[in-house]
Structure 1
Amino acid sequence: MSFYSVPLPELHPSPGTLIAIQELTEEFPNPERIMVLALNEHAELWKLNLHTGVTERILQTNIPEMNLLHPVQIVTSPDGSVAAVSNIYGQRAAVYNLLTGKEILQLSRDDYHYDVSTYPLSFAYIDQRLILVHGTEWNRLDLTDVLRGTSLTGRPTPAYNNDSNQNTDEPDTSEHYLNYFHGKLSVSPDQKWIVDSGWVWAPLGITRTWSLENWLNHAWESENGSSIHNLWQTMDWDLPSAWISPDTIAIWGQVDEEMVDEEDWQEEGVSPAIILFNVQTGERMGVITSVPAFSTTSLVEGVFPHAQAGMAADQDKLFTWRYGLDLHVWNCSTLTCDATTTEVHPQLYHHQAKLFIGLSTDAPHQLLACEYDSNSA
């Protein structure tokens, strides 16, 4: 089991200094097209073909109050036709059609502590419709039909104890009030479940999951629906995660020793771990111990502490990386570590190309790639 550096061609024309990249999935993959979507220092979105080096400028983003010196996220639709862009800890976002180069939607969440958790953004295909899951208030998510621009989850925003509805004829919706700050979202591969790594006052991270199908039929599902499970209560939120299967997600965080059997821990107290959860039942399916801790100290002044780490899965392998330290490969069947490397500190794992891809610190307009061969000696 070995890692190999993969030479990439020089990008032409040059997209300039890159500040964020994301895998660009294609509905019909072509081995001669390793596609990445990138945002540069001028807030331009570019398509990069890492097989040929050919690049294409798609559009100029225009997001109010966007700070390109702060962390940025690019979220793409399953077929690679649409992308959403925001500061990770920003108040505003925009959605773009990558085929036409046109803006589709401008989005905003309210200003209540928006700068301490990831702007909730994720795409799903449901009933042959492209749907965006997005934050509209600190404790509210909505579903929007992307191509039609229509909301699918219209409902009033409940007030705590229904204070705003006193002495009015409006219905009492206080039972739906959710005291929870939504955060980083992830939709399951079969587009049926969503996982939300948000937080509550203390502060304390709580990872929640619920059914997207139920949500389309019941507008209050994300607040107090019947399919909701609280998977994990942790010290942090916006946690690295990866889907092992359509109904199993792996999450990397810190746990108290009471969560697992005593013999699994070398020391008492809070320890880092990866835990596998079944989102349909909320059941814990496995625990990986002896996991390295990740730093939560932001590399950028003025940005709220958050996990300096990433995670991806491919078949029975789970990959974890963290700023400045080794990339680990975990076996999901044995729950043990198979390999480590310092060859590359990736920003992402490209599932179609099976490459780890990172930004070059020496040449910020260039990318680096590394391949993992599980069959080598």
Structure 2
Amino acid sequence: MISGDDAVHELSLPPGLGAVIDLAPVHDGDRPVWLALSEDGTISRWDVAAGGCKPVGITTVAPETDREPWNGHVLRRRLHASQDGMFAAVVNDYGRFGEVVDLQTGRVTLGLDNQGGHEETVPFSLAFTRSRGRCVVIHRTAWNRLDVSDPRTGVLLTERAPVAAVAEGALPEHHLDYFHGALYVSPDGQRILDDGWIWHPVGFPSVWDVDPWTGGNSWESEDGPSRIEVCGREYYWNHAMTWIDSVRVAIEGLGDDDDGMQPGARIFDTGRTEQGDLWRTPTAVELLAFEGPTGRFFSDGTRLFSCDDGGLSIWDPVDGTRLGVVSGFSATHHHPGAGQFLQLVDGAVRLWAG
């Protein structure tokens, strides 16, 4: 069994970073470069190997301090970054507001407002990816609607035509009874995994393709041909999930209801579907379910990593074998390009390279 306990290193954060509240990886070849968000709203570029940092932007997103935590989820600022490090977004998870910043100019290019609607139940839905040769930002603009915008100009790329009137009591075409949650981009950047929920409530992760969405079918995220459901769990969302590769996803929790949920992982093939039980929608094929993984999930494209208070565990998602453990190390962030796991602890960083 692999053991990486001796390979955990503690680093001091550069003094210029101040109090760091979040990190986001950016790709600079194989160099471990991160964007760091400080308590005062400064966004800095931190080169771990060189040890230096440089301010590249600032955010003034409204703090929404009057919000009461929902189900233990406290509102917090969250940092997102485009893969090339050209753009950042700072949003209020379990809140309503955020903004996109051009890190070349320091200019706010897009103000974000998810318009409310049980926003306290989910992190602010946002992700950067590339589509049709350009960087795009996906963001929640209503409880049941996501849009895609150009982060450089703020121009909306998924404008919808007005919904046609319908008879009283009927639902309009393209209506989606779905509260969008945390978004996860596949390693190839072409697909979205959405940890959303439906009323009454049931957590219902879903997947769809990006290029058709930006290439003509602005309703792709509602009812497009590529949209499929992964699984349904009553009263259970805001839990770990990750892409293993650009087809397989790992979903935390064994069971169909919050009351009986057990620690473990379920592996789904989103490239194959079967007839679902709910509304007879296409559902991803489940490949494997195994006990053990809990906490946060990450993947390097082959292995599954789970992080809880006891440490970081390494799993084979093909047969469920536990391959190793890094005791006492609970990663909070993963840099896929550099193969680096970080844990923010009291003004310092603990690092393990997988």
Fold agreement, TM-score > 0.5:
yes
What are the within-5 Å matches in structure 2 for residues 1-377 of structure 1?
A: 1-3=2-4, 4-26=6-28, 28-30=29-31, 34-67=32-65, 70-156=75-161, 158=163, 174-216=172-214, 217-235=216-234, 236-256=236-256, 270-282=261-273, 283-293=284-294, 309-322=295-308, 324-361=309-346, 364=347, 366-372=348-354
CA gap of 1:315–1:197, structure 2 versus 1, over 3 A, is: closer
Q: 1:159, 1:177 within 8 Å by CA — same for their partners in 2?
A: no
SS in 2 for 1:339: strand
CA positional deviation for 1:159: 9.1
The two structures, once aligned, show a CA RMSD in angstroms of 2.6
Task: Report the AA paired with residue 264 of structure 2.
Answer: A
Partners of 1:162 and 1:134 lie apart in 2 by: 31
Partners of 1:286 and 1:179 lie apart in 2 by: 28
Per the normalisation by structure 1, the TM-score is: 0.80
Partners of 2:319 and 2:38 lie apart in 1 by: 41
Per the normalisation by structure 2, the TM-score is: 0.85
CA gap of 1:37–1:142, structure 2 versus 1, over 3 A, is: same
Q: Percent identity?
A: 28
Partners of 1:340 and 1:371 lie apart in 2 by: 13
CA positional deviation for 1:270: 3.7
CA positional deviation for 1:186: 1.3
Task: Report the AA paired with residue 129 of structure 2.
Answer: A
CA positional deviation for 1:205: 0.3
CA gap of 1:125–1:102, structure 2 versus 1, over 3 A, is: same
CA positional deviation for 1:122: 0.8
CA positional deviation for 1:148: 3.1
Partners of 1:14 and 1:146 lie apart in 2 by: 27
**Which whole-Å deviations, capped at 9, do the CAs of 1:143-168 have from their partners, x for residues lacking one?**
112223221211156599666xx9xx
CA positional deviation for 1:191: 2.3
Worse-superposed segment, 185-194 or 149-158: 149-158
Q: 1:9, 1:50 within 8 Å by CA — same for their partners in 2?
A: no
Q: 2:14, 2:51 within 8 Å by CA — same for their partners in 1?
A: yes
Task: Report the AA paired with residue 314 of structure 1.
Answer: D
Worse-superposed segment, 178-187 or 54-63: 54-63
Task: Report the AA paired with residue 38 of structure 1.
Answer: A
Partners of 2:103 and 2:227 lie apart in 1 by: 34
CA positional deviation for 1:193: 1.4
Partners of 1:128 and 1:96 lie apart in 2 by: 20
Task: Report the AA paired with residue 303 of structure 2.
Answer: K
Which structure 2 residue ranges, 5 or more long, are not aligned? 67-73, 274-283
